[in-house]
Amino acid sequence: MTTPATVVLVHGAWHGPWCWDRVTPLLTAAAVPFVLVDRGVGSPRRVSSDPWIDRERVRAAVEGVDGPVVLLGHSQGGIGITFGGTAPNVKRLVYLTAHAPGIDMPEGVVLRSPALVAGGIDTPEGRLFDPKTVVSVFYGDLTPEDAAWAVSRLDPQQILPPGPLPEERAWQVVPSTYVVCTEDGALLAAGQRVYASHMTQVIEWPTSHSPFVSRPDLVADLLVRLANEAGD
């Protein structure tokens, strides 16, 4: 009997491990083990913008698993899985409407929506998100109650100047799945598809930027299938 691979989940900007709360019970019900990577730094908590920190946290999570891994990054979490996902036990990468460093957008293709670019508000605590636009950018297909639940948990984003990037590009050496979220108000579908064109497998869902809240069944079903395929 095959033992499923362990799913390692990496959240995106402004978010935390809480964003998987509706997915993980479905993984547990399917007997798929999981590990949550927390990208938070400092006190009070901010979300890391340091690719080197993200790489090391992903590496540590993967190295802590005795067996095969399916490694998922959502949004900015794609940076960490790209730079930290080359360990031999990583059998599949999953980019959930996520950044994939090392892939450039062709001229005329826009990845970040204007609302996402304009939505950051820099404060002494970090970069907050404009409350007037946060729902349309991240949670366009959620009920008002679910959107309020998510918005209340967002943390500031760390502000760092640009710097050198790690050299690893896991998507070049590890089989990968890219999930395009066609109704995403943060990362536009056209840009997502550029990333996806470099991956092993492409899936499209008619969801917002946050299917882990609006459609946790889709996220869990994909991960259960991949974990069973990658198991030993």
The C-alpha atoms of residue 13 and residue 138 are separated, in whole angstroms, by 11
What is the set of domains in the chain, with CATH numbers? 6-230 (3.40.50.1820)
pTM of the model: 0.98
Q: Look at residue 27 in the predicted model and tell me its pLDDT.
A: 98
Q: Look at residue 2 in the predicted model and tell me its pLDDT.
A: 83
Q: Look at residue 23 in the predicted model and tell me its pLDDT.
A: 98
How many Cα atoms are found within 13 Å in the side-chain-facing hemisphere of 110?
10
The C-alpha atoms of residue 188 and residue 109 are separated, in whole angstroms, by 9
Tens place of pLDDT for every residue, the chain, 232 residues?
A: 689 999 999 999 999 999 999 999 999 999 999 999 999 999 999 999 999 999 999 999 999 999 999 999 999 999 999 999 999 999 999 999 999 999 999 999 999 999 999 999 999 999 999 999 999 999 999 999 999 999 999 999 999 999 999 999 999 999 999 999 999 999 999 999 999 999 999 999 999 999 999 999 999 999 999 999 999 8
The count of residues in the chain is 232
- Residue 72 pairs in a beta bridge with 9, 94
User: Which residues fall within 8 angstroms of residue 207, CB to CB, at 6 or more apart?
Assistant: 141, 181, 182, 183, 184, 214, 215, 218
